[in-house]
Structure 1
């Protein structure tokens, strides 16, 4: 029986009400199966449970199904990004939609477990966070692990570069990410591609998803407009004032953070401020890792021509360095949790005196943006927080105890802000550098946690040479 369907509409025609559907795609608009999403909207199946990294935004994205009233429940890693309104959170707060938040790597593993016939697995990722509430926790050795259950789905809507008549699928660039694991975890995997070729055209070693996991193939009918890249709310050269004096600009303290990275190291940069660090590692032997499946990349400069299939976890366009590698989310989170990364740089809402981190949700928010942060921290790599010293309302972000939902307990090693460099020693942070024009006393005044002042506090310069 042929796996090739005549149209996206034909491929989704029999999806019934109440189905659980995994829809692959990354960020706001990268590599979603747009044609299948539109066809499903027009088909009208309702009471759906949608499993996704996020619902995306804009034309042809899965959020359209929510707007159309077809979704009853969502399982997501991102329900909103900081500062951007979210329809799914509004619907969840109103009780119209159920919302389950899952770390990105655990989402992948739950679908992979379903594909492999495994009912559950233990993970260190959510230990000590609200996401572990009500779940079984067990100790192996001297560490705690949370029981996570497999997540089988009825259908998966995924996107590939091309497929052959046997159903084998090839992917391009960093657009592989969730697609293979979502397809494998589904009873019926429906794949839209740019081209369908005869069996044997795709070299066996280039098959990213074997045809045995694919039920239906269809040509895409909705071309993807190249997304705009990473979202930025403020310019890199913007700076805040404290006590009427200018602090370091966002780009300047990102440059200071870059100097902390070891030569020949493997480094993951989180979204937001940490992405600016990538501008300061050029010419150094630092290998950047992105959760969507890239190792050894650099940001595409303004003169470059973007490839819609080459992007990082923040949505910025990239180009691969010689010797780089591209892979799916399963491999990417093996990297994240392996402990082989030299450093992880993340932003934060709050950091506590004992090193607790909160960076995915705020009090009163239904949902948030977990992404891959919890998985990255679970690997035990050096964790450097890059953030402004106070929030947009002037409140301290360095606190005695986090009031926001925890990302992970006692995990932060260093903090770089627009005012200071702090290093955790035991259960206290030591103030080692202060921005030009500021004193340690002024930094402490803007900090709720009790700082230890180093004997010789240095002036914090953006152009500090790497150690």
Structure 2
């Protein structure tokens, strides 16, 4: 039986040549990147790399940004090239034309990897149809709806991170940190994994093996220690912050979340987008509502304080969370099977704009290179109901409810309900939005003045604060 353990990370990545394609695991801006291997690859210095990943992670941390900072990447294929905050060196390279970028929906990225590893050259999907990611791709209709052709991906190398492995390369993951590792390993000709503990063959029980050793070529011990409390987190405005319109207070961010939470039915399975939609978590205590996360988790709870944060227990937005009895963990392929397989009752997402026909735009902001799709395209297509939470106007006072989106859309005609800091609107069976509720102290006329789409007004107009 082959012993796949190598003594150092430098030895593990020594043969990655210039021009190689490398899949890099890691989730969000900071969680469970293969930091030891990334530092070794940075020192090794291979250039002109094609890198596949969810995103490069946070600058200034031991993430895949190390490779961009060292100008080793010529092509990036990812779900995120930009995130809120100051531009990264990778974004500057994209703008300068020294780094080519292809944006791929998160669920389609792992599915393309899964397909490539399984010997499937291509497949059709509804995800991305009618959006910028469909440009130049073959389109066929199934069930009367357009689907685009996506090609399987194989790579020269994958660098991964696990919890434990034995000398044969059998791997165990922990919590929500499995995510991309399975599909990336299967797509790679040579998969290299770093783990916290290396065991003798037989010390891992068969049911503890999440990824068989046949997919792993090299195993190395993790030596880069990351303090949980030092991990960069998404910046978030205070839940109590709110805008004023005409000198009158609108709903706070927390209250938007509270109103959206009240829309959810008991015994439903829900996915929450990052940012404002996460406010919904605070109003689900005691509710029979199951939360799903794209990184591979079902049935998690509220946010965990940093003092009791576990690096493997986090949601798709990077927030540390508690887990509930009956929680399950799985890889991102399974997670998006749940999403695209119509097993989510609702998804709650933020948005830059919502069009009068239900079009959703939330992944690309003018002025930033590329964009950040994440799992939004998969979720918007797969969920039975799409609820959007957002402020009624943007930071410059421009309406976000528009007749037609001029931002690139995430999915067409998908939005069911919109909850803003001023109003609740529901899309009727006739395709038009109906203003059903307004924030206390505001009139329908005031809301319509701040709305750039044609809407109907319900005869029995309600007050948002009276609905929770």
- TM bracket (short chain): over 0.9
TM-aligned CA distance change 1:390 to 1:297, over 3 Å: same
Residue range with higher mean Cα deviation, 119-128 or 297-306: 297-306
Q: Per-residue deviation at 1:321?
A: 0.8
CA drift at 1:395: 0.8
Q: SS in structure 2 opposite 1:37?
A: helix
After TM superposition, the score normalised by the length of structure 2 is: 0.97
User: Superposition pairs for residues 384-423 of structure 1, below 5 Å?
Assistant: 384-423=387-426
Q: Are 1:449 and 2:450 matched, yes or no?
A: no
Question: Are positions 1:204 and 2:206 aligned together?
Answer: yes
Q: 1:203: how far off? A: 1.1
Tell me by how many angstroms 1:366 deviates. Answer: 2.0
> In structure 2, what is the Cα distance between the partners aligned to 1:229 and 1:420?
34
Q: How many residues of Structure 1 are paired with residues of Structure 2 in the alignment? A: 464
- The match for 2:197 is 195
Distance 1:208 1:10, change over 3 A: same
Per-residue deviation at 1:351? 0.2
User: Aligned ranges for residues 53-132 of structure 1 at < 5 Å?
Assistant: 53-57=54-58, 58-132=60-134
1:327: which partner in 2? 330
* Counterpart Cα distance in 2 of 1:336 and 1:87: 33
Query: Which residue in the other structure is 1:173 paired with?
Result: 175
Kept in 2, the 8 Å contact 1:355–1:424? The answer is: yes
Cα shift readout 1:295-328 (whole Å, capped 9, x = no counterpart): 0001234386011011000000112111121111
**C-alpha distance in 1 between matches for 2:162 and 2:143:** 41
Q: Is 1:436 equivalent to 2:437 in the alignment?
A: no
What secondary structure is seen at the aligned counterpart in 2 of 1:100?
strand
Contact 1:299 1:316 in 2 (8 A): no
Deviations 1:237-284 (A, max 9, x none): 000011121101000111000000000100000001001101110110
The structure 2 residue matched to 1:314, chosen from 288, 293, 317, is 317
2:163 alignment partner, SS class: strand
Secondary structure (helix, strand or coil) at the match of 1:174 reads helix
Instruction: State the secondary structure of the residue aligned to 1:311.
Output: coil
Deviation digits for residues 369-396 of structure 1 (CA, Å, limit 9, x no counterpart): 1000100112142000000111111111
3-state secondary structure, aligned to 1:385: strand
Structure 1 stretches lacking a partner, 5+ long: none
Flag structure 2 segments of 5+ consecutive residues without an equivalent: none
Q: Are the equivalent residues in 1 in contact too, given 2:171–2:211 (CA < 8 A)?
A: yes
Contact 1:20 1:155 in 2 (8 A): yes
Residue in 1 aligned with 2:16? 15
Q: Secondary structure at the residue paired with 2:6?
A: coil
RMSD: 1.2
- The Cα offsets for residues 216-254 of structure 1, whole Å up to 9 and x where unpaired, read as 000011012215475133111000011121101000111
Query: Aligned partners of 2:98, 2:51: CA distance in 1, in Å?
Result: 14
1:229, 1:316 within 8 Å by CA — same for their partners in 2? no
- CA pair 42-228 structure 1, distance change in 2 beyond 3 A: closer
Distance 2:144 2:25 in 1: 36
In structure 2, the residue corresponding to 1:36 is in which secondary structure? helix
2:289 maps to what in 1?
286
Q: Deviations over 1:195-233 (max 9, x none)?
A: 100111111111111000000000011012215475133
State the distance in 1 between where 2:436 and 2:355 align. Answer: 17
Q: 1:251-270, aligned counterparts within 5 Å?
A: 251-270=254-273
Superposition deviation, residue 144 in structure 1: 1.5
Q: CA deviation at 1:451?
A: 1.5
Q: Distance in 2 between matches of 1:402 and 1:78?
A: 21
**Distance in 2 of aligned mates of 1:84 and 1:171:** 33
8 Å contact kept, 1:229–1:317: no
Cα gap change, 1:405 to 1:255, in 2 (>3 Å): same
Distance in 2 between residues matched to 1:125 and 1:175, nearest whole Å = 25
**More displaced 10-residue stretch of structure 1: 84-93 or 432-441:** 84-93
Write out per-residue CA displacement over residues 6-37 of structure 1, whole angstroms, 9 at most, x where no aligned residue: 10000001110000000000011101000000
Q: After the TM superposition, which of the residue ranges 10-19 and 371-380 deviates more from structure 2?
A: 371-380
Task: Verify the 8 A CA contact 2:392 2:421 in the aligned structure 1.
Answer: yes
**Contact (CA 8 Å) 1:358, 1:406: kept in 2 or not?**
yes
Change in 2 beyond 3 A, CA 1:449/1:236: same
> Do the aligned partners of 1:229 and 1:315 also contact (CA within 8 Å) in 2?
no
Give the superposition deviation at 1:334: 0.3
